[in-house]
Amino acid sequence: MAVLRFSVVIPTYNRGASLEACLAALANQDAPRDSYEVIVVDDGSRTPPRDLIARYAKTMQVRLIEQANAGPAAARNAGAFAASAPYLAFTDDDCRPSPGWLRLLGDALDRHPRAAIGGAVVTALHNQFSTSSQLLVDFLYDYFATHNRDGQFFITANVALPRDLFRELGGFDLTFPFAAAEDRDLCERWTESGFELAFAPDAIIWHAHPLTLKSFWRQHFTYGRGAWCLNKAKNRRGRQGLTVPPFAFYSSLLLYPLSKASFPRNLGLVSLAALSQLAYVIGFAWQSRHDSTSKNLAAVTGAARSNAPH
């Protein structure tokens, strides 16, 4: 009988079909079934996946936690703080782990037992929008690994780390209300605490998140909003806020797709890379203005209450 080593945490929200594909992939891991448990955290779905979890519970260790909708950071924390295994492995409900995923993450943790291990994320879809979003992640991983290790991070679709160190850090910051930049914030706090980040490129997750032009724009607009939240979180910790990257960053980002696809498809990917950055900047500015307006409104309301007759 194997020792329980991993608690796989999956937040989910109204994605029953995608979640089923994720669970099927986890049931197909080449790691021993009793070496990992799966914790699905339903974040207020219209129909919680109780029947689906009950079906998979017959063949592997899987359980369901239900909560009112509070966002992916809160959902991941709920799973992580209920975990039994010494290591946490995070993925998403629209992801399909490769058969060797947990085994390879375990091998990397054997080499780096106090590290956060990030695996590779590969798009399972081939439309322009999904491919462009994945290329942006690939570019950021490459860029920060080679140019600025202080900015290195792993996305929560594929990351594993020691449970107790994660809890010691307080988990994900709940001031991040949507799926954007909470993973960057965690990685920054992780390295600030003196812990290591290590990349395991063979530990692959297949990501199947279909995007249209509208949802592509919305995704990167949200990433910009998340960046503003990250900026505030850094300031709360007394750290320097986000700075504008050098010109070489943007030129490299725009040129990156040229070597990743053939002509003329690569030109479309370059255009989408530019569009993603426009959406990001607008989202950042929108969230900044929204927070400023909310703060001013709260101040006015507070003043009115204090001046009201008692």
Task: Give backbone dihedrals phi and psi of 63, rounded to 5 degrees, phi first.
Answer: -140, 160
87/46 Cα distance (integer angstroms):
31
104/302 Cα distance (integer angstroms):
54
Comparing CA positions, the residue from 174, 276, 271 lying closest to residue 219 is: 276
- pLDDT above 90: residue 162: yes
Q: Residue 302: what pLDDT? A: 47
63-77, 187-201, 218-232, 296-310 — which is least confidently predicted? 296-310
**Each residue of 16-72: pLDDT tens digit?**
899 999 999 999 999 999 999 999 999 999 999 999 999 999 999 999 999 999 999
Q: Which CATH number fits domain 6-212: 3.20.110.10, 3.30.360.10, 3.90.550.10, 3.30.420.130?
A: 3.90.550.10
- Sorted by where each begins, the domain ranges of the chain are 6-212
Q: Residue 239: what pLDDT? A: 87
Q: DSSP of 103-148, one letter per residue?
A: HHHHHHHHH-TTEEEEEEEEES--SHHHHHHHHHHHHHHHHHHHT-
**Each residue of 106-133: pLDDT tens digit?**
999 999 999 999 999 999 988 999 999 9
Comparing CA positions, the residue from 184, 20, 178 lying closest to residue 95 is: 20
Percent of the chain surpassing pLDDT 90? 75
Q: Residue 306: what pLDDT? A: 46
Identify the top-confidence range among 6-10, 136-140, 148-152: 6-10
* Average pLDDT, integer, range 202-211: 94
The answer to whether the CB of 242 falls within 8 A of the CB of 234 is: yes
The answer to whether the CB of 28 falls within 8 A of the CB of 100 is: no
Which single residue is written with the structure tokens 């021993």? 32
304/298 Cα distance (integer angstroms):
10
Q: Which residues, including other chains, have CB under 8 Å from residue 258's CB and lie 6 or more apart?
A: 266, 270
Helix (H) or strand (E) holding 78: helix 72-80
- pLDDT above 80: residue 299: no
pTM of the model: 0.89
- pLDDT above 60: residue 301: no
In whole angstroms, how far apart are CA 78 and each of 11, 45, 71, 269, 286?
Answer: 9, 15, 11, 37, 30
**Each residue of 222-261: pLDDT tens digit?**
999 999 999 999 999 888 888 888 888 899 999 999 988 8
